[in-house]
Amino acid sequence: MPDTRASHGMREESEFLEKLVSINRVAKVVKGGRRFGFAAVVVVGDTKGRVGHGHGKAREVPEAIRKATEQAKRSLVRVPLREGRTLHHDVQGRFGAGRVVLRTAPPGTGIIAGGPLRAVFECLGVQDVVGKSIGSSNPHNTIKATFDGFRKLVSPRAVAAKRGKKIGEIVSRRGSAGARE
């Protein structure tokens, strides 16, 4: 047992931020009664635009968390961020009955989101965002819906490359638009 704690201590000093979203006690009914195990959901991110999620099951809590963390590190995705602090545009994601709405926010707003969404945004390194979970409150579905939303995010650079234009032609300055009116 001490080995797992020692390795866990070294892992905390790595470049990744790990957040335990939920832990659930599950039971398997066998002839002699019930066998209890644990299921863990973990979100891992580098706070610079990469984030992943994982699910692990085991008879003991630390082992379930370790498995979930390893799976999360294997499933990292890069999310384009504006100014390294918020999303480029509003987006909706869905998975099963879980739906999320992710909205950009001006500087100083902070992370306005609860539960699993907050853990994902903290690991991602977003400072200003508004997240709303609609429908299922199941953390698995909420997290997967959030990652579905991240898949739909497109940076202006990618749009410009796709259309064969310059970034300036695609991104309109709000200040100059307001000055013209």
Domain 81-171: CATH class, spelled out = alpha beta
| Position 177 pLDDT exceeds 60 | no
Looking at domain 2-77, which of 3.20.20.70, 3.30.160.20, 3.30.365.10, 3.30.1360.200 is its CATH number? 3.30.160.20
- Residue 163's pLDDT band (boundaries 50, 70, 90)? confident
Residue 169 pLDDT: 80
The three-state DSSP-derived secondary structure of the chain is CHHHHHHHHHHHCCCCEEEEEEEEEEEEEECCEEEEEEEEEEEEECCCCEEEEEEEEECCHHHHHHHHHHHHHHCCEECCEECCCEECCCEEEEECCEEEEEEECCCCCCEECCHHHHHHHHHHCCCCEEEEEEECCCHHHHHHHHHHHHHHCCCHHHHHHHHCCCHHHHCCCHHHHHHHC
Q: How many CA atoms lie within 13 A of 57 on its CB side?
A: 7
Sign, CA dihedral 172-177-180-181, equals positive
Tell me the pLDDT tens digit for each residue of 114-152. Answer: 889 999 999 998 999 999 999 989 999 999 999 999 999
Arithmetic mean of pLDDT, 15-35: 93
pLDDT higher at 154 or 23: 23
Domain ranges of the chain: 2-77, 81-171
pLDDT higher at 67 or 47: 67
pLDDT higher at 15 or 31: 31
Residue 181 pLDDT: 42
Per the CB < 8 A criterion, the answer to whether 109 and 131 are in contact is: no
pLDDT higher at 155 or 19: 19
Arithmetic mean of pLDDT, 13-27: 88
